[in-house]
Amino acid sequence: MIFSVSVIIPVYNAALFIEKAVLSAALQHEVLEVIVVNDGSTDETEHILDTLQQKIQKLKVVHHTNKINKGRSASRNLGIQHASGNYIAFLDADDYYLEKRFKKDRVFFNKNDEVDGVYNAIGVHYYRKQLKEEREDLALTTVTERIEAAQLFNDLLTGEKGYFSIDGLTVKKSIFKSVGYFNDKLEVAEDTDLILKMALKCKLETGIIDKPLAMRGVHNKNVFNQESVYKIHRSKMYESLINWGIKENTSFHNTDQLLKWLWYYRNKDYNKLSTELYYWLKLMCKNPSLLSSKLGYKYFPIIRQRKKLFPILFR
């Protein structure tokens, strides 16, 4: 298969960063096209993109109908639908690729026909003053060791061997037919949702993990600083994975792991029993097979609360 990459960049009001992102992708030899989805920007983004299109032949700019704002998931999905390359890579509008971003990926895919994707490390570039606590946390987003594809899902769930960013991921375009697209109901964590689905159903291999191939831009408006938004969508992400996994007939073990983490965050973020009873009953109704299974009993809020309060009785 010819290694031709379509880079998809969703952008909403990122006039300060978008040119750097586009240029960093367009300069890569392996990149066939840079597809920027302008997600209803109201700043100077559209003007900048119009100017860049006159200079960069690889650049394609698309919009949602009537140029409305639909969010990152819908924008990435639109970009995938417009992609002509055999491979897909993603880049956020405030991030950028480093030189030779896809050189090793091309070699890896050429040697491994069965591999569906390769993930690599990314670094960080500060557009504001670096905070002391960020020095180690954001220095390098990567897994800490090579992970077998069959073990990747469980290792990403626990986080014990680190994580990787969507900016460092390159996948075959064909996998979206089996995995599906980004969940447009998730405002955040939509990338983690899709990566975990890929880890369950596809063969993702470890690429370069000891040095960055892309840089995350850190500034005062980063969405990952908004803990209240993550609190809401964290549960929605696990619910999305559970619903998808049951439809895909994923294993009992994997469903158990997802329910465990969902319960963990629900217990952390919401601790009112009546609220949780209503939430879990709704979840079970969406997935009747859970209601009649051991997992439905195991994770029912009253049972979980008793285990938490009286662990010695549930050993």
Confidence of residue 120 (pLDDT cuts 50, 70, 90): very high
- pLDDT greater than 80 at residue 70: yes
- If asked whether residues 81 and 97 sit together in one domain, one would say yes
5 DSSP assignment: E
Whether 198 and 241 share a structural domain: no
Q: Looking at residue 11, which CATH number applies to its domain?
A: 3.90.550.10
Q: Which of 60-74, 91-105, 120-134, 294-308 comes out lowest in average pLDDT?
A: 294-308
| Residue 225: predicted pLDDT | 55
Lowest mean pLDDT across 193-197, 250-254, 300-304: 300-304
Domain that holds residue 244: 228-307
Residue 167 gets which letter from DSSP?
Answer: G
Q: What value does the mean pLDDT take over residues 255-279? A: 85
Same domain, 144 and 64: yes
Same domain as 154, residue 81: yes
Residues 19 and 32 occupy one common structural domain? yes
Work out the average pLDDT over 16-21: 97
pLDDT band at 226 (very low <50, low <70, confident <90, very high): low
- Same domain for 101 and 233, yes or no, is no
- The arithmetic mean of pLDDT across residues 291-308, rounded, is 78
What gap in Å lies between CA 143 and CA 98, rounded to an integer?
A: 19
Give the span between the Cα atoms of 279 and 60, in whole angstroms: 43
Cα separation, 203 vs 189, whole angstroms: 21
Q: Are residues 183 and 244 in the same domain?
A: no
Specify whether 30 is located in the same domain as 64. Answer: yes
The domain boundary residue, chosen from 225, 246, 281:
225
pLDDT of 314 reads 42
Among residues 301, 265, 294, the alpha carbon closest in space to that of 280 is found at 301
Same domain, 113 and 53: yes
Q: Where is average pLDDT lowest: 95-104, 120-129, 286-295?
A: 286-295
Q: What per-residue confidence (pLDDT) applies to 224? A: 57
Same domain, 90 and 154: yes
Q: Cβ-count burial of 268 within 10 angstroms (0-12 exposed, 13-18 middle, 19+ buried)?
A: exposed
Residue carrying structure tokens 């680190």: 162
**Domain termination site, one of 194, 225, 256:** 225
pLDDT at position 282: 87
Q: Check pLDDT > 90 for residue 94.
A: yes
Highest averaged pLDDT of the listed ranges 8-22, 126-140, 254-268: 8-22
310 CB-near residues (< 8 Å, 6+ apart): none
Number of domains into which the chain is organized: 2
Mean pLDDT score of the chain: 90
| pLDDT at position 313 | 38
Write down the pLDDT at residue 309.
47
Report pLDDT for 179. 96
Same domain, 208 and 79: yes
The pLDDT-based confidence of 203 (bands split at 50, 70, 90) is very high
Residues 90/8, Cβ–Cβ less than 8 Å = yes
Q: Which two tokens stand for residue 228?
A: 């209240």
The verdict on residue 106 lying in a domain is yes
**In this structure, are 186 and 281 located in the same domain?**
no
Q: Residue 313 falls within a domain, yes or no?
A: no
- Phi first, then psi: give them for residue 163, nearest 5 degrees: -140, 170
pLDDT grade, residue 310 (50/70/90)?
very low
pLDDT at residue 315 greater than cutoff 50 = no
Mean local confidence (pLDDT), 138-158: 93
